[in-house]
Structure 1
Amino acid sequence: MDFVSIIMGSKSDYEIMKNCADTLEKFNVQYELIISSAHRSPDRTKKYIKEAEIKGAKVFIAAAGMAAHLAGALAAGTTKPVIGVPMKGGAMDGMDAMLSTVQMPSGMPVATVALGKAGAVNAAYLAMQIMGINNKELAVKLLEDRIVKEKAVATDSKEIEVII
């Protein structure tokens, strides 16, 4: 069974990452969600990556704050796509998380999305777009979602637009 793996560095990330899980559920995309830390539980993280790949994980989403380097640890342990969601918090309010997620060495790519809720939702969409390459049904659902969003913009505009 193909699925998306969501890994959070700590329980405090759950309120934001629930938005990622909810987005996947909206499209009926299977996912696993666990807490595992690159620094506090590195053996658990490495073991989970291998087990998830065997079970069918196609994309990994990693959420961590401060300078926690979870997405990089995942990228080092898999050749599957890794999407990093930097979390706000700490003395630098997420800037350290953003930098530790986006600044990866050559050959260890991590796709990095925005901080917070928008990042969590976009991580789900990006994971689905990746999976949609080989899943026509999912690709169609994503296209239909884009059409709905486009129509909503036009409707919102008609309510307020002034055109000469």
Structure 2
Amino acid sequence: MSLFVHRPHNSGHYTIEACETSQYENHLCAILSLPLGSTSLKVSSAAMLNIIGTSSNMAEVMNFASKCIKTDGCVVTIMGNSDSEVHSCLRPLLKALPSGSTKEELTMYAPETSAQGSVIMGSDSNLPVILPAAHILDWFKIPYELTIVSAHCTPDHLVKYARSASSRRLRTIIAGAGGTAHLPGMVAAMTMLPVMDIMQMQRGIPVETVAINSSMNAGLLAVWILRAGIPHLFADIDAYLRGLEGEVIVKVKKLEEVGWEKYEVK
């Protein structure tokens, strides 16, 4: 019931952990017409502390939480539900319950599931080529967004779109572009989501194409995809990317020091 019972956050934990009977237990008792439990404070005083992580790496929070668990009288609650997860749980319940709520009210309190995939193209001339991808997503009932993001005409929009993809709960991006086809590579450089490019591949064979003679990128792409179910990969990928950045910075400094005439490419 913790997902569905509305309460002010801080006072909510007071009525969950600090009282003789949790508000959720009393809520169920009320629904089932059972006697309500005591709401008396079971301790002489109580305090709540919010610990907010700075990344997707749970280690920094868990290190602190593990010490709290060993403290007498301390209760640790790990919160990790996004709005989209709450909405996806809430919508079926609201639909099933007898109610006089209108369709507009249902959408307001439990909106439809947000897009999980993205289909982007460099210009509208690419639409006929990109549409089969959209049709597949439709067939599997996967929510997605389809739009135009030009690497050459709207570079600022491309940067904003790619860097906000993860925070908007997208999980993968399909990028199609003609001409010089810079769109997929530029998007992939600014997001940790798996990016797929459309090349000359046989229909029905899902291949995420990489450069010729670049099996390293194939391995990295596999890591990018697998990280969705392996939390520590988020931090590992971030460290890897920072390592690449560091290597380039070293080369830039050396080039400035010796000049391009004496610079040796290794």
Q: TM-score range by the shorter chain?
A: 0.5 to 0.7
Structure 2: distance between partners of 1:62 and 1:102: 13
Asked whether the equivalents of residues 166 and 192 of structure 2 are also in contact (C-alpha less than 8 Å), the reply is no
Higher relative contact order (CA 8 A, sep 6+): 1
Paired residue for 1:58? 171
Query: If each structure's helix is expressed as a fraction of its own residues, which one has the higher value?
Result: 1
Is contact 1:83-1:110 (8 Å) kept? Answer: no
Q: Write the letter of the residue equivalent to 1:71.
A: P
Task: Rate the CA distance shift 1:85–1:110 in 2: closer, same or farther, 3 A.
Answer: farther
In structure 2, relative to structure 1, the CA distance for the partners of 1:110 and 1:50 (3 Å cut) is farther
Choose from 22, 38, 47 the match for 2:135.
22
Q: Which residue of 1 aligns with 2:145?
A: 32
Cα distance change of structure 1 residues 47 and 110 upon mapping to structure 2, 3 Å threshold: farther
1:71 corresponds to which of 184, 187, 200:
184
Q: Distance in 1 between matches of 2:125 and 2:134?
A: 15
Q: Give the SS at the match of 2:198.
A: strand
- TM-aligned CA deviation for residue 45 of structure 1: 0.7
Whether contact under 8 Å (1:39, 1:68) holds in the other structure is no
Tell me which residue corresponds to 2:53. none
State how far apart, in whole Å, the 2-side matches of 1:2 and 1:23 are.
15
Q: CA deviation at 1:103?
A: 3.1
Q: Distance in 2 between matches of 1:15 and 1:110?
A: 31
- The answer to whether the Cα contact below 8 Å between 2:120 and 2:149 also exists between their aligned partners in 1 is yes
**Which letter maps to 1:47?**
K
CA contact (8 A) 1:61 1:84 kept: yes
Partner of residue 98, structure 1: none
Q: Equivalent residues in 2 for 1:85-100 (5 A)?
A: 85-86=198-199
Identical columns (%): 37
- Measured after TM superposition, the shift of residue 33 of structure 1 is 0.7
Shift of 1:15: 1.3
Would you identify which runs of 4 or more consecutive aligned residues in structure 1 move more than 4 Å? 104-111
Q: Is the 8 A contact 1:8 1:34 kept in 2?
A: yes
How far, CA to CA, are the matches of 1:106 and 1:3 in structure 2? 27
1:47 counterpart = 2:47: no
- Distance across 2 between alignment mates of 1:41 and 1:110: 31
Q: Which runs of 5+ in 2 are unaligned?
A: 1-113, 201-208, 230-266
TM-score relative to the length of structure 1? 0.53
> Does the alignment pair 1:103 with 2:211?
yes
Larger radius of gyration between Structure 1 and Structure 2: 2
How big is the shift at 1:49?
1.6
Tell me which protein shows more strand as a share of its residues: 1
Maintained 8 Å contact 2:126/2:177: yes
Count of aligned residue pairs for this structure pair:
103
1:5 aligns with 2:5: no
Q: Deviations over 1:55-90 (max 9, x none)?
A: 111111110012121110011101111101148xxx
Q: Given the superposition, is the C-alpha separation of residues 8 and 110 from structure 1 closer, same or farther in structure 2, using an over 3 Å criterion?
A: farther
- TM-score normalised to the size of structure 2? 0.34
SS at match of 1:68: coil
Deviation at 1:40, TM superposition (A): 1.6
